[in-house]
């Protein structure tokens, strides 16, 4: 498919959000930048309303909004579906419960056109609580100017999905979104970082993310073994991206922090009855600890405990011990 220069393609995956979808779409339509296109991907909604509303929005905006449906595959699969349909030089991902602020495309496209070596433009995120309160400062780390995503991205995805605007070229280098149903956005952006993605920052609020109830594309419980299995997979991939970027040798503090995250997730997987995932994550934690600043002795002692009493028992004991320490 030929790329249309200057065109911004906004991709909106949606699952059972008939009330929020129109506002998200409206925020893209109200951009003071043209040309734009909007691709809504219904990720197998079951409410009987979301698909109908998406179709109406497309019919009311011919030539701008396109509508696609798919069998439920999760947010990453839905975003990739939309990306493959997109024609724009730039790609914007927008969750159906968030909004873009009117000057976003104008400011970020301008920044990318000015900084021709940059692949991703980002700005400040505005956060709105469920009770309507708005945080006065930029959310997470979105108010800080950075030239690259790593090493900080290894420990925290410091922007939310609607914040960055990508060049299509870096999306093609990164490859397709994964089928992960949790932390798929973090894994994707770490892959963008590993493929050399460079940043340009604009000092404006560009999007608003909101806290509220309802079904999310990546919903799940921490007690769910499938959720923990997915998190184990995402962390494994993120570590691979860090290796590709050479982080163990250039950012020992960030790598040490990630080693501790791997160690915690290993214990949680053990407690959830996933011994194989627990064992594999512990091996990764050991490797990461060797390249960063983490207490390798704790990891080794836990491995000995798990080999003696089993991975599930060791995980549950570690959870009890963490809770006991936290209650002191």
| Domain boundary assignment for the chain | 4-210, 225-326
Q: What is the pLDDT of residue 322?
A: 81
Q: Is the peptide bond before 35 cis (omega within 30 degrees of 0)?
A: yes
Q: What is the pLDDT of residue 294?
A: 57
Q: Is the pLDDT of residue 215 over 50?
A: no
Q: Is the pLDDT of residue 207 over 60?
A: yes
Q: Is the pLDDT of residue 297 over 90?
A: no
Higher pLDDT, 219 or 153: 153
Q: What is the pLDDT of residue 82?
A: 98
Higher pLDDT, 175 or 293: 175
pTM: 0.92
Q: What is the pLDDT of residue 221?
A: 57
Overall average pLDDT of the 222-246 stretch: 92
Other beta carbons within 10 angstroms of residue 243's beta carbon come to 16
Which residues, at least 6 apart from 28, have a Cβ–Cβ distance to it below 8 Å?
10, 12, 36, 38, 92, 94, 100
Q: Would you say 119 and 170 are in contact if contact means Cβ atoms under 8 Å apart?
A: yes
DSSP output for 303-319: HHHHHHH-HHHHHHHHH
Q: What is the pLDDT of residue 54?
A: 98
Q: What is the pLDDT of residue 296?
A: 82
Residue pLDDT, tens place only, 133-166:
999 999 999 999 999 999 999 989 999 999 999 9
Overall average pLDDT of the 225-247 stretch: 95
DSSP output for 246-303: THHHH-HHHHHHHHHHHHHHHHHHHHTT-HHHHHHHHHHHHHHHHHTTS-HHHHHHHH
| Token pair for 217 | 């594309």
The angle that helices 252-271 and 296-309 make with each other, rounded to 10 degrees, is: 20
The proportion of the chain whose per-residue pLDDT surpasses 90, expressed as a percent, equals 83
Map tokens 């698909």 to a residue: 51
User: What CATH number labels 4-210?
Assistant: 3.90.550.10
Q: What is the pLDDT of residue 222?
A: 57
114 burial class (0-12, 13-18, 19+ CB within 10 angstroms)? exposed
Residue pLDDT, tens place only, 31-88:
999 999 999 999 999 998 999 999 999 999 999 999 999 999 999 999 999 999 999 9
Residue pLDDT, tens place only, 284-296:
999 988 865 557 8
Q: Would you say 211 and 161 are in contact if contact means Cβ atoms under 8 Å apart?
A: no
């Amino acid at each position: 498919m030929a790329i249309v220069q200057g065109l911004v393609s906004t991709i909106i995956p949606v699952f059972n959000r008939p009330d929020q979808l129109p506002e998200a779409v409206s925020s893209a339509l109200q951009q003071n930048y043209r040309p734009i296109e909007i691709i809504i991907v219904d990720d197998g909604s079951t409410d009987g309303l979301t698909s109908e509303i998406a179709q109406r929005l497309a019919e009311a905006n011919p030539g701008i909004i396109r509508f696609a449906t798919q069998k439920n595959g999760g947010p990453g699969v839905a975003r990739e579906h939309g990306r493959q349909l997109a024609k724009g030089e730039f790609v914007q991902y927008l969750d159906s419960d968030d909004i873009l602020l009117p000057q976003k495309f104008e400011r970020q496209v301008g920044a990318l056109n000015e900084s021709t070596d940059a692949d991703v433009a980002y700005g400040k995120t505005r956060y709105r609580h469920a009770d309507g309160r708005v945080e006065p400062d930029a959310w997470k780390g979105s108010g800080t100017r950075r030239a690259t995503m790593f090493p900080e991205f290894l420990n925290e995805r410091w922007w939310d999905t609607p914040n960055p605007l990508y060049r299509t070229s870096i999306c093609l280098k990164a490859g397709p979104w994964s089928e992960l149903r949790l932390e798929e956005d973090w894994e994707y952006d770490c892959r963008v970082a590993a493929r050399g993605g460079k940043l340009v920052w604009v000092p404006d609020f560009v999007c608003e993310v909101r806290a509220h109830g309802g079904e999310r594309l990546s919903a799940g419980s921490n007690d769910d073994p499938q959720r923990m299995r997915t998190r184990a997979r995402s962390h494994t991939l993120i570590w691979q991206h860090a290796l590709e970027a050479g982080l163990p040798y250039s950012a020992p503090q960030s790598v040490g922090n990630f080693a501790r995250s791997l160690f915690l997730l290993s214990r949680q997987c053990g407690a959830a009855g996933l011994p194989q995932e627990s064992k594999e994550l512990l091996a990764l934690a050991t490797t990461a600890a060797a390249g960063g600043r983490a207490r390798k002795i704790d990891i080794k002692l836990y491995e000995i405990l798990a080999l003696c009493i089993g991975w599930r028992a060791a995980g549950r004991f570690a959870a009890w011990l963490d809770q006991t320490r936290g209650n002191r």
